[in-house]
Amino acid sequence: MRRPFMAANWKMNKTVSEALDMATELKELVSDVEDVDMALCSPATNLYPLKNLLKDTKIALGGQNLHYKESGAFTAELSTDMLKSVGCEYAVIGHSERREIFGEDDELINLKMKRAVAEGITPILCIGEKLEEREAGKHFARVKFQLAADLSGLEAEDVEDIVLAYEPLWAIGTGETATPEQAEEIIKYIREELARMYDEETAEKVRIQYGGSVKPWNVKEIMEQPNIDGALVGGASLEAESFSKIIKFEEQ
Ligand code: PGA
């Protein structure tokens, strides 16, 4: 069985003191959570202090990006060693904001995926279509293309441990969510595509999150879908109370 996985994507939010305040509150609110994996994907400046605060808890840490080279002249970039040294188990890769605003293409994302997997950081690979692609009925083709390009060269044994996040661009930060049925339809398709690219067993192991305006009030219905294993949460992950409610989706 796949364990549910709820990840916060804080984007460019929170100073160190704000991050520590939120995490202190969250740690109490989720101290009784046993069956859900949780992670805070924070701006890099907060990771080391968060590592110290969260060391005896089940709340894991993630970066929001990484560079595919080991080290060197790459001003402002972060290596996998740097992320590991501040306690990161995860890194978000290929978020649509990186793709759209910072021009990351699938070739670059694939290099980052290979680096993460080789260095023992679990990637949370974001894929998803734009509004015009959905309206033109091209959303299945879009995610199929992204899977093939972003996972190119990775073996089944690498892929079974990664996390995918299906995030339709039109639902991110807009308050507009895909309906649970729309999300399930395409996430099921993603799993079938993984089975075609690798095999059934691998496809069954991969955890696939939904992301895009997940809130405490809609998370239960989303999590009731058989192929949806968790959520990647932006806005509603900034406050401890709302993120803890998402983590405890069964109680909503
Ligand atoms: P949102 O962001 O929850 O604010 O829509 C999700 C994401 O971008 O990962």
The angle at the Cα of 151, spanning 231 to 138, to the nearest 5 degrees, equals 70
pLDDT tier for residue 175 given thresholds of 50, 70 and 90: confident
* Tens-digit pLDDT profile for residues 145-173: 999 999 999 999 999 999 999 999 998 88
User: Pick from 191, 142, 139, 185: which is nearest to 164 by CA?
Assistant: 191
* pLDDT at position 172: 87
| Average pLDDT for the chain | 97
Q: Whose CA is nearest to atom 1 of ligand 1?
A: 234
Residue 199, pLDDT > 90, answer yes
Ligand 1 geometric centre to CA of 237 (Å): 9
**Å from CA of 199 to ligand 1 middle:** 30
pLDDT of residue 176: 78
**Residue of 232, 239, 243, 245 to test ligand 1 pocket, by largest number of atoms within 8 Å of CB:** 232
How many percent of the chain have pLDDT more than 70? 100
213 lines ligand 1 (CB under 6 A): yes
**For 153, left (φ over 0), alpha (ψ -120 to 50), or beta?**
left
Residues of the chain with pLDDT > 90: what percent? 94
Q: Is the dihedral of CA 239, 122, 68, 131 positive or negative?
A: negative
d(CA 9, CA 243): 11
Q: To which H or E segment does residue 207 belong?
A: strand 207-211
pLDDT at 178: 86
Per the structure block, which two tokens stand in for 142? Answer: 């879009």
User: Active-site residues: which are they?
Assistant: 95, 167
For the stretch 79-110, pLDDT in tens is 999 999 999 999 999 999 999 999 999 999 99
What confidence score (pLDDT) does residue 210 get? Answer: 97
Two tokens, residue 7: 């990840």
Give the DSSP H/E element, type plus range, for residue 174.
Answer: none
Q: What is the pTM of this model?
A: 0.97
Handedness of CA 93, 140, 174, 234 (dihedral sign): negative
| Centre of ligand 1 from the C-alpha of residue 233, in Å | 5
The pLDDT of residue 111 is: 98
User: Tokens 């101290």 correspond to what residue?
Assistant: 31
| pLDDT at residue 252 tops 80 | no
Verify whether ligand 1 is closer than 6 Å to residue 216 (CB atom): no
From 120, 124, 90, 131, select the one nearest 109 (Cα to Cα): 124
Confidence bin at 15 (pLDDT 50/70/90): very high
